[in-house]
Amino acid sequence: MTTDRRPILLMSPALLWLFGLMVVPCLLILVLAFFRRGMYGGIEYTFTLENIALVFDPLYAQIFLKSAWIAGLAAGIASILGYAAAYAIAAMPRHRQSALLFFAVLPFWSNYLVRTYAWIVLLNREGLIVNLARWVGFEGELPSMLYTEQAVVIGLIYNYLPFVILSCYAPLSRLNPEISEASRDLGASGWTTFRRVVLPMTVPGIATGFVFVFVLSIGNFVTPALLGGGQFQMIGNLVYAQFLTANDWPFGAALSMVLIMVMLGLLMAQATVADRASGGKAGDNG
Amino acid sequence: MADRNTFRLMLLILGLVFAFLYLPISVLVGLSFNEGGLPTAWTGFSVKWYGELLANKDILRAAGNTLIVAIFSTLLSTILGSLLAVGVEIRRRNGKWLETMIFAPMIIPDIVLAIALLSFFSLLGVKMGLHTIIVSHVVFNLAFVSAVVRARLKSFDWSIVEASNDLGATTATTMRRVVLPVLMPAILAGALLAFTLSVDEFIIAFFTAGAGRSSITLPMQIFSMIRFGVTPEINALATVVMAVSVVALALSQRLNRGGLPGQ
């Protein structure tokens, strides 16, 4: 039963589907990046490195850097908040933890657009926060909060925070409390125990959370489009524009290719961190 | 003493984080029931904005499209994903490439898959519409279904399959009468998850829907409405969409945790 071909037969429809509609289209993007843009927006089938070079043109490199900055900011703040929340959940009584975790992650499963829209409701010129400020007696012109870089960062943190809570909770909940106790018994303060014992053992969770928020943020185009306003551009919006308005598919493909490389690099770094953390434990004992 | 203070600090952190997570969506839901529709003043409870939704032809058509996309992509991905999961778990020794390929649709950024599919369909000259959204949604949905089913198969006792074979059942009968019933809760949970993901998915649908308004899905409709600002109607629509995904997800969780009947 286990040595025959039947498992392959069961797998093949799905694998063919993934091959035809994921692998091939993604390879197509790689190929497209090396073609020339046609006179009228089409594709001219001659090899060129121009598109790749254009990505590193200061004009576009700057957008890349800004996207990385915003993604880094969102990932950094989300990691701190998410770790704190996961730590707090892990400190609660055992029987409460799964319910708390469920409610922390629940918003993650509701519609992304709706969650982003909620911040438009809060931040817009006639929104709740402005009204609240007026109500407590603030007069005069309030700085616009919507359509700013900060609004984009807040939106990204809001959308991806549950993910960090989840990734940080896993190592925190597996932590053996006796280790912390041993550290205290040996005279370490609570803070030292946290910094020298708990934190190093749970770093893979933070790394996973950080990398995922960063990767999801840097290529994001919905949040910048909705909370950043029309003129606010991140890489995702640039890619979007090449495909749907500027009609320069080869350049759009080149942008995506560089984006994918950045993402893959980060995901691999994260896998290494996770590997080292688990490998270290097993290796030292053996 | 220090421990009690730490505990209080933990409670405070939890309170703040949960407020951050839930206040924005609560405000949204609250406003959708505000008679006047403005965030400035509460003028009384009303469901009139939900009534407006039902009178809006664009929204109804988009909702219909979303339902078509979600139902068909769920059906397809549930079948493909479950078969994949069973095959992968029977085979056990799967190469790294295979595992990566199955895992990839869950982590590949939407925008990348979206433009890849758009380029692919247009270079092939495929006319885009609801059908292209459906086949595209199957790509990531089948990965999620197979992940859920595989999780269930990890704790599956394969000796009952051997027992069934020893008793003279054909492979097909064993699959239908032994494996399928055990997997059913996981398959249904996977299907519900796929349905939710498909209902909510915006970017891939946006790129593979083709031109014209006839194949606009609900998230696409919401996106274009949001761009013009805040209206009580969007608040109501957002509340409905959120409620649908939360209910489907809670159901999926429940099914999957329920375990085997009689176990």
Q: With CB atoms and an 8 Å threshold, state whether B207 touches A128.
A: no
- For residue A212, is it within any domain? yes
Q: With CB atoms and an 8 Å threshold, state whether A25 touches B119.
A: yes
pLDDT above 60: residue B258: no
- Show which of residues 6-35 on chain B sit within 8 Å of chain A, judged by CB atoms: 6-7, 10-11, 13-14, 17-18, 20-22, 24-25, 27-28, 31
Per CB-CB distance under 8 Å, the chain A contacts of B18 are 103-104
pLDDT, one tens digit per residue, over A188-217 is: 887 888 888 888 888 889 999 999 999 999
What's the domain count of chain B?
1
In Å, how far is A128's CA from the nearest CA of chain B? 6
Q: With CB atoms and an 8 Å threshold, state whether A18 touches B105.
A: yes
- For residue A189, is it within any domain? yes
> How confident is the prediction for chain B on average, in pLDDT?
89
HSE on the CB side for B189, CA within 13 Å? 21
Residue of B nearest to A112 (CA): B200
Mean of pLDDT values over A135-154: 82
Spatial distance between the Cα atoms of A158 and A115, rounded to a whole number of angstroms: 8
In Å, how far is B262's CA from the nearest CA of chain A? 24
Mean of pLDDT values over A43-66: 89
CATH number at residue B243: 1.10.3720.10
Side chain identity at A75, as an amino acid letter?
A
Mean of pLDDT values over B101-107: 87
- Show which of residues 232-251 on chain A sit within 8 Å of chain B, judged by CB atoms: 236, 239-240, 243-244, 249
- On whether any CB of chain A is under 8 Å from the CB of B188, the answer is no
The highest-confidence range among A31-35, B69-73, B150-154, by mean pLDDT, is B69-73
- On whether any CB of chain A is under 8 Å from the CB of B126, the answer is no
- For residue A40, is it within any domain? no
What's the domain count of chain A?
1
**Angle between the N-to-C axes of helices B96-107 and A6-18, in degrees from 0 to 180, rounded to the nearest 10:** 40
pLDDT, one tens digit per residue, over A154-172 is: 999 999 999 999 999 999 9
Per CB-CB distance under 8 Å, the chain A contacts of B146 are 14
- For residue B29, is it within any domain? no
- For residue B38, is it within any domain? no
- On whether any CB of chain A is under 8 Å from the CB of B87, the answer is yes
Per-residue pLDDT at A196: 85
Mean of pLDDT values over A227-233: 83
Kindly give the pairing relationship between strand A43-47 and strand A35-37.
antiparallel
pLDDT above 90 coverage of chain B, percent: 56
- For residue B147, is it within any domain? yes
> How confident is the prediction for chain A on average, in pLDDT?
86
pLDDT, one tens digit per residue, over B58-98 is: 999 999 999 999 999 999 999 999 999 999 988 877 788 88
Q: With CB atoms and an 8 Å threshold, state whether A121 touches B104.
A: no
pLDDT above 70: residue A2: no
Classify residue B56 as exposed, middle or buried by CB count within 10 Å of its CB (0-12, 13-18, 19+).
middle
Q: Domain residues for A151?
A: 62-278
pLDDT above 80: residue B24: yes
Per-residue pLDDT at A41: 65
Q: With CB atoms and an 8 Å threshold, state whether B113 touches A26.
A: yes
Contacts of A131 (CB under 8 A, 6+ apart): B39, B40
Q: Domain residues for B195?
A: 46-257
Q: What is the DSSP letter of B45?
A: B
pLDDT above 50: residue B259: no
Per-residue pLDDT at A158: 97
Q: With CB atoms and an 8 Å threshold, state whether B21 touches A18.
A: no
Per CB-CB distance under 8 Å, the chain B contacts of A91 are 6-7, 10
Cβ-nearest to B39 among A92, A127, A240: A127
> Is residue B2 very low, low, confident or very high in pLDDT (cuts 50, 70, 90)?
low
Mean of pLDDT values over A19-26: 96
> Is residue A3 very low, low, confident or very high in pLDDT (cuts 50, 70, 90)?
low
b/e per residue, A78-96, with b = 16+ CB within 10 A?
Answer: bbebbbbbbbbbbbbeeee
Residue of B nearest to A104 (CA): B18
pLDDT above 90: residue B108: no
Q: With CB atoms and an 8 Å threshold, state whether B39 touches A121.
A: yes
pLDDT, one tens digit per residue, over A63-81 is: 999 999 999 999 999 999 9
Dihedral pair phi/psi, residue A192, rounded to 5° = -65, -40
> Is residue A40 very low, low, confident or very high in pLDDT (cuts 50, 70, 90)?
low
Rounded to two decimals, what is the model's pTM? 0.88
pLDDT above 50: residue B263: no
- For residue A192, is it within any domain? yes
Per-residue pLDDT at B159: 87
Mean of pLDDT values over B161-176: 86
- For residue A180, is it within any domain? yes
Q: Poorest-confidence range of A147-161, A268-282, B85-99, B191-205?
A: A268-282
pLDDT above 50: residue B262: no
- For residue A283, is it within any domain? no
pLDDT above 70 coverage of chain A, percent: 94
- For residue A188, is it within any domain? yes
What value of ipTM does the predicted structure carry? 0.89
Q: Poorest-confidence range of A6-20, A106-120, B90-104?
A: B90-104
Per CB-CB distance under 8 Å, the chain B contacts of A213 are none
Per-residue pLDDT at A126: 74
> Is residue B231 very low, low, confident or very high in pLDDT (cuts 50, 70, 90)?
confident
CATH number at residue A122: 1.10.3720.10
Q: With CB atoms and an 8 Å threshold, state whether B245 touches A239.
A: no
pLDDT, one tens digit per residue, over A104-114 is: 988 888 889 99
- For residue B31, is it within any domain? no
DSSP track, A200-269: HHHHHHHHHHHHHHHHHHHT--HHHHHHS-TT---HHHHHHHHHHTS--HHHHHHHHHHHHHHHHHHHHH
- On whether any CB of chain B is under 8 Å from the CB of A124, the answer is yes
Spatial distance between the Cα atoms of A230 and B161, rounded to a whole number of angstroms: 59
Q: With CB atoms and an 8 Å threshold, state whether A127 touches B102.
A: no
- On whether any CB of chain B is under 8 Å from the CB of A93, the answer is no
